[in-house]
Structure 1
């Protein structure tokens, strides 16, 4: 994975998703198409990681890495059509399997892959996997609810 050229670096990713500073967990876009996105993350080893607890960075946080990849995928798809991305909210994560307890002790980059399985203008279903050196770290499915009202600049409850 280290030989892959980046299509976007962390500042480019942060400009497209609603996560800023150290909460932008992805540091590279490796590949994407209409259905799938593949990203890289290396900050999981940082002692100051924003999701790290006293016991370290738990593998369940792989869900957040995947959610950010999904947000980036949606932003890239919208950008490719000239549309504004719809804000999305992670509604559920199902069938999640963590293959290890922690992420912070993995020496190399994480690869985060999300594949859009189904969706419409209101909701999306993604399958995701996070891996390290070709070995699984976590995988599952995530449902994302889109809010096109917020994308238009209106606020919830605004009659416009």
Structure 2
């Protein structure tokens, strides 16, 4: 069941146009989010190599977008959102050097491990057809309000 489509996602995160790699939110709550992406395989994906392939490390960007969206959805309704910056990656595991062209839609799961007004730590996995393509942990720091 899809709870949010791409057009809504585009209005919530700073990644616009072809750089927004999320298609749908399947589920989210205060602790995590599950998204889907077939955009990673799009010909206009700005992270594609000259030969058309996409390195699996680019899945970190897709997972980061899911984290950004989760942060925006779970933020207090009042006030302006504060930009976040990916500052640390830990325990990243890649299944292969690049995504298989026929991998199918990706499922991105990001679970907030801890967080406050200064930043958050997430675990993430990116799977396709129940095969894990990458996983790890990420730390995001938020820009302090002026």
Task: Report the TM-score, using the length of structure 1 for normalisation.
Answer: 0.85
2:98 aligns to what? Answer: 102
CA distance in 1, matches of 2:41, 2:61: 15
1:26 to 22, 27, 41: 22
Q: Secondary structure at the match of 1:97?
A: strand
Assess if the C-alpha contact under 8 Å between 1:106 and 1:132 holds in 2: no
CA distance in 1, matches of 2:17, 2:59: 18
Q: Secondary structure at the match of 1:90?
A: strand
Which is strand-richer, 1 or 2?
2
1:82 to 65, 69, 77: 77
Structure 2 CA distance for partners of 1:95 and 1:107, relative to 1, 3 Å? closer
* Worse-superposed segment, 137-146 or 52-61: 52-61
Q: Secondary structure at the match of 1:101?
A: coil
TM superposition shift of 1:105: 1.2
Give the unaligned 5+ runs of structure 1: 155-160
Cα RMSD over matched residues?
1.3
2:138 aligns to what? Answer: 142
Summarize deviations over 1:21-77 as a string: whole Å, max 9, x none: 000000100000100100000012222211001241000001000100000001101
User: Residues 10-159 of structure 1 correspond to what in structure 2 (within 5 A)?
Assistant: 10-55=6-51, 56-78=53-75, 81-83=76-78, 84-103=80-99, 105-149=101-145, 154=146
- Number of residue-to-residue matches in the alignment: 144
Task: Report the TM-score, using the length of structure 2 for normalisation.
Answer: 0.93
1:158 aligns to what? Answer: none
Q: Give the 4+ runs in structure 1 shifted more than 6 A.
A: none
CA distance in 1, matches of 2:18, 2:54: 14
Instruction: Say if 2:7 is the partner of 1:6.
Output: no
